[in-house]
Structure 1
Amino acid sequence: MTTNFTLPRPLRRSGSLPSSRTVRIVVLGQGAVGKTAMTVRFITKRFIGEYDPTLETIYRHEATVSGDVVHFEILDTAGQEEDALLIEEKIKWGDGFLIVYSVTDRCSFDEVMRLCFLVNHIHSGSRKGSSDPPPTVIVANKKDLQYDRMVTTEDGESLSKGLKLPFFEISARDSWEETATVFHTLYGEMMKQLTSSPTSFRKRTVSKLMEKIPKINSNSTLGSTGRSFSFGSFRDFLSD
């Protein structure tokens, strides 16, 4: 099956849905699968080839999706081994989830199932009034590296079908449109759930752990300095 990367059609607006909304997205996956490259590609339309894989950041970015002004808060996790409390706090923080693997790394693909279980398990106890699993999209990155491929497209499609989750195979390097479609689709899934279960997205408190994660306001930073996200300038954008 070939995935078409057209942006989602506008959602029918409900009288209960505001035209401006803040959504929290957590990007999960093993290290070196391209989580930072994918996130920065979405918010800047640029691809960065090198970055610090241990860096953990919350990006704040405003975009228009299906006629809505959306304030994205995107947590780009480091993807390294960490204790259960740390990952639990990060998952509790999010409203929607992108679980990313690389088609060149079979171990990162095998990790997807565990991460999906963690997200569902942790949110089942924190999303009062909703029995639905949190909106989640599975993303296979680096499809441009065909000669290094270890995970087939059919593998990804079979996994996503079993988990009943949307699936996209993309190249963050080659296509901003493919990358944007992933984030726009997740936003659409979040709005569908909000319509059917409004209590799912009640405002939650932010833990001290989450307050310590550096934040980048992408629009204001790029607009005021004109500088791009690159390995050399990346750290300079981080606020205390």
Structure 2
Amino acid sequence: MSTNRRTLRRSGSLPTSRTVRIVILGQAAVGKTAMAVRFITKRFIGEYDPTLETIYRHEVAINGDVVHFEILDTAGQEEDALLIEEKIRWGDGFLIVYSVTDRCSFDEVMRLCFLVNHIHSGGGSGGGAGRRGGGSSNGHEPPPMLIVANKKDLEYDRMVTAEDGESLSRGLKVPLREISARDSWEETAGAFHALYADVAQQLDASPPSFRRRAVSKLMEKIPRIHSGSALGAAGRSFSFGSFRDFLPE
């Protein structure tokens, strides 16, 4: 059956199109925004306003499918529990990011993974009102997550070994990728593509009733930037100073 689908696509049939929501979590300064912008623009920009939260919209073809990414770049600072809960409920999949040069950001990964699992299993202040109702309490798998160890290019500043990361990955049963957002677009894009594959598999296996989209006033307030509109004809970069012009008043 899958061979026939591939044959039909090559002969000119319409590809599958889906929207996938990715939430990037992690402490400040681990490279969350740099990863998102690197994936979208193939450019690396090192400095951003650490308090700015944005939802990037980006379309890309993956294995013949048209994927509409909505990527929530969180600020990574301490915030009200209800706010982080709304953001986690919004997502289909999660990139949990730490920097190999920052031990504290590594120590935060376990808490974030448990928080995502707890909220999607019906925990949190919203009770069982999660969008897909997932989690072990309802007999569903935890939401797709990928741990990303960023800044592997800064080997002389490394405070978290590759073995530390692998041990954490095995303990949490969450896959891990070490990348350098600065040095490699391929590694950065590979993390997003790998998470998308897990999200697509879970969504395809979920009953339609578990695919409801959350409607949240909080999420509607977060600025949205489409990759095409922000680049523009002049190839404007996604540095904070330039894309600030695209944010609503």
| Residues 222 and 118 of structure 1, relative CA distance in 2, 3 Å threshold | same
Residue-pair matches, total: 229
User: Which runs of 5 or more residues in structure 1 are unaligned?
Assistant: 1-9
The alignment partner of 1:233 has SS state of helix
Q: 1:131-157: per-residue Cα shift (whole Å, max 9, x none)?
A: 210010000000001111000001111
Which AA in structure 1 matches 2:156?
Answer: Y
RMSD between aligned alpha carbons?
2.2
The residue number in structure 2 matching 1:104 is 101
More divergent stretch after superposition (194-203 vs 93-102): 194-203
Instruction: Map 1:172-187; keep pairs closer than 5 Å.
Output: 172-187=181-196
Counterpart of 2:82 (choices 66, 75, 85) is 85
Return the alpha-carbon distance in structure 2 between the equivalents of residues 12 and 93 of structure 1. 34
| Residues 68 and 184 of structure 1, relative CA distance in 2, 3 Å threshold | same
Q: 1:174-197: per-residue Cα shift (whole Å, max 9, x none)?
A: 000000000000000011212332
The TM-score normalised by the length of structure 2 is 0.86
After the TM superposition, which segments of 4 or more aligned residues of structure 1 sit over 4 Å from their partners?
10-14
| Residues 219 and 26 of structure 1, relative CA distance in 2, 3 Å threshold | same
Aligned pair 1:159/2:168, yes or no? Answer: yes
Which AA in structure 1 matches 2:57?
Answer: R
User: Offset at 1:33?
Assistant: 0.2
The residue number in structure 1 matching 2:142 is 133
Preserved CA contact (<8 Å) 2:230 2:238 = no
Q: Greater Rg, structure 1 or structure 2?
A: 2
Aligned pair 1:20/2:17, yes or no? Answer: yes
More RCO (CA 8 Å, sep 6+):
1
| Residues 45 and 232 of structure 1, relative CA distance in 2, 3 Å threshold | same
Return the alpha-carbon distance in structure 1 between the equivalents of residues 158 and 79 of structure 2. 28
Return the alpha-carbon distance in structure 2 between the equivalents of residues 90 and 203 of structure 1. 15
Which AA in structure 1 matches 2:188?
Answer: T
Q: 1:69-115: per-residue Cα shift (whole Å, max 9, x none)?
A: 00000000000000100000000000100000000000000000000
